[in-house]
Structure 1
Amino acid sequence: MTGTSGIPISGTTRLYVVLGDPVAQVQSPGLLNPLFARLGLDAALVPVHARPEDFDRIFGGLRCIGNVDGIFVTVPHKAAARLLADRCSPMVEITGSVNALRRESDDSWYAENFDGTGFVAGLVDAGHDPKDRRVALVGAGGAGSAIAAALLAAGVERLSVCDLDVAKLGGLRSRLDTHWPGMTATSTEPDLDGADIVVNATPLGLRPDDPLPFRPHLLPSGSVVADIVMKPRETRLLREAASLGHRVHYGIRMLDGQVASYRAFFGLG
């Protein structure tokens, strides 16, 4: 039997899954399945639509399946996955969210988060190094938390984080201040004033009728506008920002920046 990407599927195939709700937008199978093929690995990554009310049961079932070696997590499950992991990396402890888990030799599950490091790697590769820059981040959820930590680790001059969830925002700032004291400002409204780079780390843009995460006409002149939404590639936010003369940074670059980390994390050669 052969999968849609041309990967032979058999009784010896090792499985990886990506859990999300929705899941139609995920791009990781299109990057990692060809990688498995190039490396000659008997492995396949498949998307699994997991609604929030079913997530615990689905995760519990997957960890019992003997040939599942890895679980990727996308919106809205990144915080929930943190509570179900057996052990977590320092980055997960800081951010409170997970985007990848691997099965260990003792069948326990170890959690990591590469969203932030992948996002920063993508920025740097595109010529938008955030070091010594002022960054406004909209969204303090799973991906936003990881991106905030990675931006601070990359040496931004100032980071402002916006989210409507005051409790979530306060928890993130407390964790960030433990490692980078006084470097993060928080608010319930986007603070775009003087920002060199503005990041949408919310799911807004996945659906065509989504509202904008912030008003593009308020962007400072010359700012870079980045989105983490991968499908559609050109969100309404990026389209409107580009029409106003801003440089834009596409969401797929975050995943591109994570591939090398995934290879090392899962021992893929």
Structure 2
Amino acid sequence: METTLRAADDADRCRGATSGLGISGRTRLFAVLGAPVAQVMAPAMMNRLFAEHGVDAVLVPVEVSPGDLDAAVDGMKRIGNLDGFLVTVPHKLALCRHADHLGDAARLIGSVNAMRREADGSWSGDNFDGEGFVRGLLGADRPVAGKRFSLIGAGGAGVSIAAAVLQAGAAGLAIVDIDPSRAEALAARLDTRWPGLARAAAGPDPASDMVVNATPLGLRDGDPLPFALDGLRPGATIADIIMKPAETRLLREAAARGFGTHPGLPMLSEQIPLYREFFRIP
């Protein structure tokens, strides 16, 4: 009898702990894949969204090295209650090959930052970094149409931002990357949609209205600046898509020199409703 009561008490405590976390055997799983993942802020924002809309789901960070990515994704696709991924540095370009269907933005730029499982078991991918970035600028009363941009970094987020600012009416885009061939390839791809507006460059265009850091430089203490601030026009705005820390060294030094600054968090905040639609969250 005592054993039975003790087991019942243990079960009650277990149920209480589980209900406190909001996780049960019916909970649907989502993962954000990256390396590193200590800086990701999507779990807090997406889990709040799930809670607000009464969705029994949880998003967790999953650190996967580039060498293990294919095996990890293939394995995670076999998890029956895993419904989708978010994707962060450095996997956005590589995840494209794991999608069976691509949205228009992902197809153009060859990069995904979200994937969902379809009812038939196939996987769809798209990229909302660029649209989130543009929405964040407009929400901060920073116009895009008619402005000249320099983009530092032609990786998974950078390619999405490049396409989005041109789609929003930017007057020109200089693309800088540590690998010049990658910048040239992106400029050529964009030229098929927006002829004459994008070009590869060795450094930021001094005439730019906005210079955007789309590299990982700034995630870690001691990182060098992703580009030099010398020579930029005084009225330029410096944007950084890094979200944590909220104020990177680049933004601090730009503000100290009198430049306008735009942080990374609005890009994520503006993507949350896009993720909600993409993942069909009621």
- TM-score band by shorter chain is over 0.9
Query: CA, structure 1 residues 237+268, in 2 after alignment: closer, same or farther (shift >3 Å)?
Result: same
Counterparts of 1:18-167 in structure 2, within 5 Å, are: 18-167=32-181
Give the SS at the match of 2:150.
strand
Q: Which residues in structure 2 correspond to 1:203-214 (within 5 Å)?
A: 203-214=216-227
CA drift at 1:118: 0.4
May I ask how many residue pairs the two structures share in their alignment?
A: 267
**Whole-Å Cα distance in 1 between the matches of residues 205 and 220 of structure 2?**
24
* 2:30 maps to amino acid: Y
Q: When the two structures are superposed, what TM-score results if normalisation uses the length of structure 1?
A: 0.96
Q: Extract structure 1 runs of 4+ deviating beyond 4 A.
A: 1-4
Q: CA RMSD in A?
A: 1.5
Aligned residue for 2:197? 183
The alpha-carbon deviation at position 108 of structure 1 amounts to 0.6
- Runs of at least 5 residues in structure 2 that lack an aligned partner in the other structure: 1-14
The offset of 1:7, in angstroms, is 4.3
Identity among equivalent positions (%) equals 51
Give yes or no for contact 2:180–2:200 (8 Å, CA) kept in 1.
no
Q: CA distance change for structure 1 residues 240 and 98 in 2, over 3 Å: closer, same or farther?
A: same
Map of 1:228 onto structure 2: 241
Q: Secondary structure at the match of 1:129?
A: coil
Distance between the aligned counterparts of 1:131 and 1:199, measured in 2? 16
Residue 24 (structure 1) shift:
0.3
Distance 2:116 2:161 in 1: 21
CA distance in 2, matches of 1:59, 1:190: 36
Q: Specify the SS of the correspondent of 2:192.
A: helix
Give the match for residue 242 of structure 1: 255
Change (3 A) 1:199 1:2: farther
Looking at structure 2, the residues matched to 142 and 168 of structure 1 have their Cα atoms a distance apart, in angstroms, of 11
User: Aligned equivalents of 1:61 and 1:170: distance in 2?
Assistant: 35
Q: Distance in 2 between matches of 1:2 and 1:67?
A: 23
SS of residue in 1 equivalent to 2:93: helix
Q: Is the 8 Å Cα contact of residues 70 and 102 (structure 1) preserved in structure 2?
A: yes
Partner of 2:264: 251
